[in-house]
Structure 1
Amino acid sequence: MTLLWVAIAILLLPALWLLVSPLRNAKSLHDQQYTFEANDTSAEQNVAIFKRRLASLEAARERGDIDPARFEEDRLELERSLLEDTAVLERRPLKPASAGRLVVPFVMVAMVAVSVIWYQQQGAEGDLVLLAVQQEVQNDPEGSLAMYIERMEEQAERQPDNPNVWSALFPVYRETGQMPKAVAALERLMEIEGRIPPLLAQLAQIRFFMAERELTDEVQALVDETLEQDPRQPTVLGLLGIHAFDDGDYEQAIDHWRRAIANIEDPNTVSSLRDGIQVAQQRMGIEPEETVAEGNGVRVRVSLDEALADRVDDDASVFITARDTEGELPPLAVVRAQVSELPMTVVLDDSAAMSPQAQISQVQEARLVVRVSPTGEAMPQPGDLFGDLESVSVGPISDDEAAEVVINRVFE
């Protein structure tokens, strides 16, 4: 935190310098203005112009070009114009060059105070404290999950309106079996963030397991509220799949889990749901997906161009995707790996499908896209590396042949 305040002070120094710098030039500017006003001949010029125009009017009257009434009217207009010009030229006496110097320190103090107060209200000081707590527990030889929870609970009392406190607390409460506390933390987070689908889904899941995997009225209400906002919410779909499986409705369970897989990025969760699908298929007396998937597909060998190897870390995510050549369907198959596994050979078949409505066995040709994401984001980001093949035949998978994709470009 000390480093943070030092950084804020360094940022304030240029602003304070800009407030003080005009005072250094105040004396020279005052002298220049005084000299200008002392030598200003605007008034004399205006009077000379007035006299010339008045003389012209008098000559016109003597020639009979204008009558006396018109003469008086034009003369009054000239006098009024002279008075207006003279009034504009009237200046207040110049103040001393030192005038207002005492105000500057007060302005400087006010600016610093407003900046500090604004940062305390709108800045991320609280989040930096949370980061410091996490690092302190990790570096403590006696650090433990219990110590982490205790420190975070202290921060919850100090920062009750910081959503990141509750976002950190409710998962560890859930993992340690403190379900009532997990519910309370999640409900507090929803008070701050709103009743958004991801939080509603988490609350529904916790209450579902607290009710011993029963779809109670309370859980059903949370499920309905979630699906009304997001019909593809994977956590709720996974929950519904578990409930259908427990009731023996394996076909419904498989449908829910497949829809959930289409919207999940975590490979571990996807693997768990696929295992559940296989068990459900076995219970139904049909061949599991792993065996069924040994049909049409594409074997792909992926490598990284050596010229780009130093641009990514070994733990960066690699997305190997097959798409239809027309680009009309969702991804037909997706395999996720890491840069440390390259070069590697993978099989893209129906077991890697994200949705039963879009599988690689449904097409004769596919476009292969391989992308390296340092952040692990599913959507392409500037700076990602990628390579592709526009058209690859889909058919029986052979151990002897593999489509070669080299990651050799940078996504702009």
Structure 2
Amino acid sequence: MTLLGLLGLALLLLALAMLLPALLRSPRPAPTQAGSLAPEPNLALLREQKAQLDEQLGSGAIGPAQYALASSELEQRVLDEAAPATAPPSRTGGGRLSALLLGLALPLLALALYSWLGQPQAVLAPELQAGVAAEPTQAQVEAMVAQLAKRLDEQPSGQPPDPQAWEMLARAYASLQRFEESNRAYIRAGELAPRNAQLLADHADVLAMVQGQSAAGEPTRLIERALAIDPKNLKALALAGTAALQRQDPGAAVVFWSRAQALAPPDSEFAAGLASSLDVARAQLLAAAPQGSRPAASAPAAPALAISGTVSLAPALAAQLAASDTVFVFARAVQGSRMPLAILKFKASELPRAFTLDDSSAMSQELKLSSVGQVMLVARVSRSGNAMPQAGDLTGELGPVKPGAPGLRLVINSVQP
């Protein structure tokens, strides 16, 4: 028996324990005149209490078992008030009969009320509850989608088309992974609502699935239209980053995903997915950094907005450096995105060496060294050659500095915790 059943049984036993002794006890004659009835105000008060019980049951303030118990008590009080004040000398047999009937009727009444007003499936075991409130089957869902599609196809010509209904149909097809049909429904919805940024982004997503998860061509154009209408549309920004990464432009992917990350709820799964995607894009950026193989003596003069200087290793860390380690020197904005604006990569065996960072070493056309007023210079020695920071890497920072500053000295003097 479930906990709910045990509690209900306990309440019923408590009610019977309160009522049965009174019914089994022999009544005592009252000193009042035989045949006199209770005053009408007492009965009116009991009727009001009954009405209050009905209201409390209807509002959910009390449960069916409580209602049954209280109703029984009220009914007994009505009988007591309405009956003659002096009873026959012996009612033991009638009282026992009433007790027997009440003992049977009260549980049945409580169960009947609970079945009518309550939630009988709540007392079922979890495996049986699943059968009571089962999810629609795949066949049922497909039947409903087919019915919606038929209704839209057979819509009378005089009735104005409903773009939301077509969008709903497109989403339903997509949930069933019927992307070709979803694409056709999105085309119709887009004809009816061409300025709906979310619809355009959803359409681009489905069309990319039709093209084998490729955002090239029409999906990218749909994404661009969506962002032109709503530059803060999260799905369009996320898809734009994916499209950029597919066309081998990790810098643009970082830009789009960083914008989406700034708008997404911080603790959401969407934000966590963006963080993972940004790690991948930034790793590709660093891996694609140009190799600096020219000797320091032959380095050309720094352009007007270039940052130049010398990077070296602190003597205290010399024992931790291997000639095969990889050195990254890059500039990033003081505030905002931590994406490198310009980057240089070379072997640790070349330390110390001169460096020059300018727009020609930018990783993205959207973010350049010349686009900011101040930057932080960072040097990092990676033992594994991995583009992402790892514990044990040797690092050094300098800044803030302004683009165009020459003769800087950047020292690698700390260990990544």
TM-score, length-normalised on structure 1? 0.32
| More helix per residue | 1
TM-score, length-normalised on structure 2? 0.32
